[in-house]
């Protein structure tokens, strides 16, 4: 007896309908969800040309018998629900019976499947929705679906596909995230024959996070553990009390990791990767006062609850849900995350410099492009455990400053054992700065009465504090000060700007001209006075105070670039933050610049007055601290 039935019109009409297949990643999402629903434990995916030329998904799930294989390609053919009551308690990832027929209608598809316990399998070939053949075939148990030439018969669709690297990045990100949701399963992804992800089964989420992101990221994250709560549901007075069990697991970053948008927040509800405003809000609320308002954490959260508590039949791509008791869920998530964050004392050491860090030391334009790519289903690095995801945006690969400290005798026994003069080649020297820490939140108090002692390398301010010795990167410190200043002035509608004696005329590309027209008003709010000046030229008459000379032109181009790549996706707040960060970066004092004591003192005081003095708007650390205790220990006084 087959398992698949065609849903009645009554049920089919109650299903959120719409486009399923938008791009290669959406094909992979549907196929992956089917394999997981089929109980597969080993999933192999091959893609070619960003998934346009080929996507092949091989699973070892329950497979299908001949009749089911044919029915699976019919609209509303599904084994997962049968009546409309089932719609209120969906426990599988799929339920609409639309994915396979939709994919088959826009590609050349080969479905090969053999049901568990059957002697032989079935191969069905279908192109542009037309059945070409259905044959008995000798196959391994499980299902293999090969999708070739996506959108071959829908040229308009094909035109909208992005570049190969972009499409594969979306696809890889998706597979990576699903692999995080199933640590006990194997996932393999190859693109053009080269391996992008290969995870073997592990027992815990922690181990899978390690497999996918590497140990360095794990160090940045706080483990939520496994929180289970029975929450009392709000009831009418005459109703019997009812509790429902909610379970929350996952990882969040400490407040020192700050992202400019929500793209690094990954939410799974009952194993489904979703985007949910309520949960996003709960997470932001958990970081309230721990992070400045325009910053966001990295989070990987798995919320599990009774299927009746969550409606997934809300959006055609199944990426949105509606909770039956939204505010209870919101508060549970917010309070759980906040509690862990408060209990945690993030002692983040200077990262050991073993792996290259993409994103580190990038020019801002490239950095922002990467930020733009970190969208919901955008690239997360996969596979190589030494690979560090872009969300660690610390400048550890930029030329390391040379510290000329006196090497203590008895090296090897103290915290200063490393000859610090050799820090320029940290890869071979273990921790960059033994004993030095990125200051913890409680050090913020001490920041207020730092006394500058001098500069190293005309780039780093050395300061005495009541809790030890501090080293502050003058450029990023100033960047943080200006960033908050620009945003605050922008909010008041009073950005300080300077008029130029002669307008500066810049030439832009046609695309930039369009962008300019779109954001001219925002530029003005940020302190730029500009005017279109003939064909593809813009006259700049005034710029934000502090940005000078050639930097003015660079800021404009950077903002146009951010705007082009990021603004369409980002919220207005996020875009403003990005623009403000660009201005701050250009206006900030540079490294290799001599500062007098008064300037240093001013810089430290202003830094202490910022909302978030520990990381620059791009997420790099601003200050290092040697605690008095470490100093005492290093001199063998304790």
Binding site for Mg ion (CB under 5 A): 34, 94, 99
Closer by beta carbon to ligand ADP, 63 or else 346:
63
Contact map string, positions 134 to 173, toward ligand ADP, x by CB under 6 A: ---------x------------------------------
Residue 440 interacts, among Mg ion, ligand ADP, none and using kind-specific CB cut-offs from 5 to 8 Å, with none
Confirm or reject binding of residue 273 to ligand ADP (CB under 6 A): no
CB neighbour class for 508 (10 Å; exposed up to 12, middle 13-18, buried from 19): middle
Q: Which of the residues 56 through 75 are near ligand ADP (CB under 6 A)?
A: 59, 61-64, 72
Distances (CA, A) of 132 to 119, 124, 406: 24, 8, 79
Q: What pairs with residue 244 in β-bridges?
A: 231
Confirm or reject binding of residue 97 to ligand ADP (CB under 6 A): yes
* Cα(299)–Cα(93) distance, integer angstroms: 22
CB neighbour class for 49 (10 Å; exposed up to 12, middle 13-18, buried from 19): middle
**Minimal distance in Å, beta carbon 55 to Mg ion?**
15
Confirm or reject binding of residue 282 to ligand ADP (CB under 6 A): no
3 state SS of 7: coil
Q: Which stretch binds ligand ADP (CB under 6 A): 27-35, 314-322, 351-359, 574-582?
A: 27-35
Determine the residue with CB nearest ligand ADP: 94
**Minimal distance in Å, beta carbon 100 to ligand ADP?**
4
Triad 318, 48, 63: Cα angle to 5°: 55
Confirm or reject binding of residue 4 to ligand ADP (CB under 6 A): yes
Q: Which of 457, 359, 349 is nearest to 400 (CA)?
A: 457
Distances (CA, A) of 158 to 27, 53, 162, 258, 539: 14, 11, 9, 36, 39
Confirm or reject binding of residue 38 to ligand ADP (CB under 6 A): yes
Neighbours of 160 (CB within 10 A): 10
**Minimal distance in Å, beta carbon 162 to ligand ADP?**
25
DSSP letter, residue 225: E
Q: Where are the beta strands (DSSP E) in 115-207?
A: 121-127, 130-137, 142-148, 186-191, 194-199
Q: Which of the residues 455 through 474 are near ligand ADP (CB under 6 A)?
A: none
Residue 484 interacts, among Mg ion, ligand ADP, none and using kind-specific CB cut-offs from 5 to 8 Å, with none
Query: What does DSSP say about strands 310-311 and 322-323: parallel, antiparallel, or unpaired?
Result: antiparallel
Q: Which of 127, 131, 124, 126 is nearest to 65 (CA)?
A: 124
First to last CA, the chain: 77
Closer by beta carbon to ligand ADP, 103 or else 560:
103
Residue 107 interacts, among ligand ADP, Mg ion, none and using kind-specific CB cut-offs from 5 to 8 Å, with none
Size of site (CB under 6 A) for ligand ADP: 24
Q: What pairs with residue 188 in β-bridges?
A: 44, 198
**Minimal distance in Å, beta carbon 35 to ligand ADP?**
5
Q: What pairs with residue 360 in β-bridges?
A: none
**Minimal distance in Å, beta carbon 348 to ligand ADP?**
42
**Minimal distance in Å, beta carbon 104 to ligand ADP?**
9
Neighbours of 405 (CB within 10 A): 12
Q: Are 144 and 56 contacting, i.e. CB atoms less than 8 angstroms apart?
A: yes
**Minimal distance in Å, beta carbon 317 to ligand ADP?**
12
Residue 78 interacts, among Mg ion, ligand ADP, none and using kind-specific CB cut-offs from 5 to 8 Å, with ligand ADP
Residue 61 interacts, among Mg ion, ligand ADP, none and using kind-specific CB cut-offs from 5 to 8 Å, with ligand ADP
**Minimal distance in Å, beta carbon 96 to ligand ADP?**
4
Q: Are 196 and 187 contacting, i.e. CB atoms less than 8 angstroms apart?
A: no
Residue 77 interacts, among ligand ADP, Mg ion, none and using kind-specific CB cut-offs from 5 to 8 Å, with ligand ADP
Closer by beta carbon to ligand ADP, 143 or else 211:
143
Confirm or reject binding of residue 313 to ligand ADP (CB under 6 A): no
3 state SS of 292: coil
Residue 72 interacts, among Mg ion, ligand ADP, none and using kind-specific CB cut-offs from 5 to 8 Å, with ligand ADP
Confirm or reject binding of residue 11 to ligand ADP (CB under 6 A): no
Residue 96 interacts, among Mg ion, ligand ADP, none and using kind-specific CB cut-offs from 5 to 8 Å, with ligand ADP
Confirm or reject binding of residue 112 to ligand ADP (CB under 6 A): no
Residues in contact with 514: Cβ distance below 8 Å, sequence separation at least 6, in sequence order: none
Q: Which stretch binds ligand ADP (CB under 6 A): 98-106, 324-332, 551-559, 599-607?
A: 98-106
Q: Which stretch binds ligand ADP (CB under 6 A): 90-98, 206-214, 387-395, 470-478?
A: 90-98
* Cα(456)–Cα(591) distance, integer angstroms: 10
**Minimal distance in Å, beta carbon 94 to ligand ADP?**
2
Size of the chain, expressed as the number of residues it contains: 638
Q: Identify the residue among 52, 96, 318, 480 touching ligand ADP (CB under 6 A).
A: 96
Give the tokens for residue 485. 């200043």
* Cα(54)–Cα(167) distance, integer angstroms: 12
Residues near ligand ADP (CB under 6 A) are 3-4, 30, 34-35, 38, 59, 61-64, 72, 77-80, 94-100, 143
């Amino acid at each position: 007896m087959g398992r698949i039935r065609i849903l009645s019109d009554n049920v089919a009409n109650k299903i959120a309908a719409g486009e399923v297949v938008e791009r290669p990643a959406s094909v992979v999402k549907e196929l992956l969800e089917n394999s997981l629903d089929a109980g597969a434990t080993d999933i192999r995916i091959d893609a070619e040309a960003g998934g346009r030329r080929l996507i092949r998904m091989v699973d070892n799930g329950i497979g299908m018998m001949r009749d089911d294989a044919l029915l699976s390609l019919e609209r509303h053919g599904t084994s997962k629900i049968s009546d409309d009551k089932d719609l209120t308690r969906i426990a599988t990832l799929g339920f609409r019976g639309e994915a396979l027929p939709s994919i088959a209608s826009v590609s050349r598809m080969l479905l090969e499947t053999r049901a568990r316990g059957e002697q032989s399998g079935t191969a069905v070939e279908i192109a542009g929705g037309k059945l070409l053949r259905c044959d008995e075939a000798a196959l391994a148990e499980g299902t293999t679906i090969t999708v070739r030439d996506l959108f071959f018969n829908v040229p308009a669709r094909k035109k909208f596909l992005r570049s190969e690297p972009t499409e594969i990045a979306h696809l890889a990100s998706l597979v990576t995230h699903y692999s995080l949701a199933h640590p006990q399963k194997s996932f393999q992804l190859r693109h053009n024959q080269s391996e992008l992800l290969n995870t073997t089964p592990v027992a815990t989420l922690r181990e899978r996070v390690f497999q996918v992101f590497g140990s360095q990221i794990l160090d940045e994250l706080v483990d939520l553990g496994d929180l289970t709560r029975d929450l009392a549901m709000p009831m009418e007075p005459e109703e019997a009390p009812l509790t429902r069990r909610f379970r929350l697991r996952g990882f969040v970053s400490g407040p020192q990791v700050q992202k400019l948008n929500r793209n690094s927040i990954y939410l799974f509800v009952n194993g489904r990767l979703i985007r949910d405003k309520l949960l996003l809000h709960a997470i932001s609320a958990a970081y309230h006062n721990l992070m400045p308002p325009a910053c966001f954490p990295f989070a990987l959260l798995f919320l599990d609850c009774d299927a009746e508590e969550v409606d997934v039949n809300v959006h055609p791509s199944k990426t949105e849900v509606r909770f039956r008791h939204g505010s209870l869920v919101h508060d549970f998530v917010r309070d759980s995350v906040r509690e862990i964050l408060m209990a945690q004392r993030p002692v983040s050491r200077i990262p050991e410099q073993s792996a290259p860090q993409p994103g580190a030391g990038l020019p801002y334009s490239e950095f922002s492009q990467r930020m733009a790519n970190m969208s919901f289903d955008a690239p997360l690095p996969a596979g190589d455990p030494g690979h560090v995801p872009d969300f660690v945006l610390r400048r550890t690969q930029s030329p390391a400053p040379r510290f000329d400290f006196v090497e203590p005798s008895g090296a090897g026994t103290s915290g200063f054992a490393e000859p610090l003069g050799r820090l320029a080649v940290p890869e071979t020297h273990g921790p960059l700065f033994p004993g030095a820490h990125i200051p913890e939140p409680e050090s913020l108090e001490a920041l207020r009465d730092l006394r500058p002692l001098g500069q190293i390398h005309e780039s780093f301010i050395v300061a005495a504090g009541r809790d030890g010795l501090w080293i502050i990167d003058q450029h990023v410190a100033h960047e943080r000060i200006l960033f908050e200043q620009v945003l605050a002035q922008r909010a008041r509608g009073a950005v300080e700007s300077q008029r130029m004696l002669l307008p500066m005329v810049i030439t832009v590309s046609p695309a930039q001209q369009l962008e300019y027209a779109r954001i001219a008003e925002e530029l003005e709010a940020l302190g730029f006075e500009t005017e279109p000046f003939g064909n593809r030229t813009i006259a700049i008459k005034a710029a934000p105070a502090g940005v000078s000379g050639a930097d003015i032109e660079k800021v404009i181009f950077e903002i146009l670039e951010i705007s082009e790549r990021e603004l369409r996706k980002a919220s207005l707040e996020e875009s403003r933050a990005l623009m403000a960060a660009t201005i701050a970066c250009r206006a900030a004092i540079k490294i290799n610049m001599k500062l007098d004591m008064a300037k240093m003192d001013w810089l430290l005081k202003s830094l202490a007055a910022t909302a978030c003095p520990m990381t620059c708007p791009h997420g790099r650390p601003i200050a290092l601290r040697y605690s008095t205790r470490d100093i005492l220990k290093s001199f063998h006084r304790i």
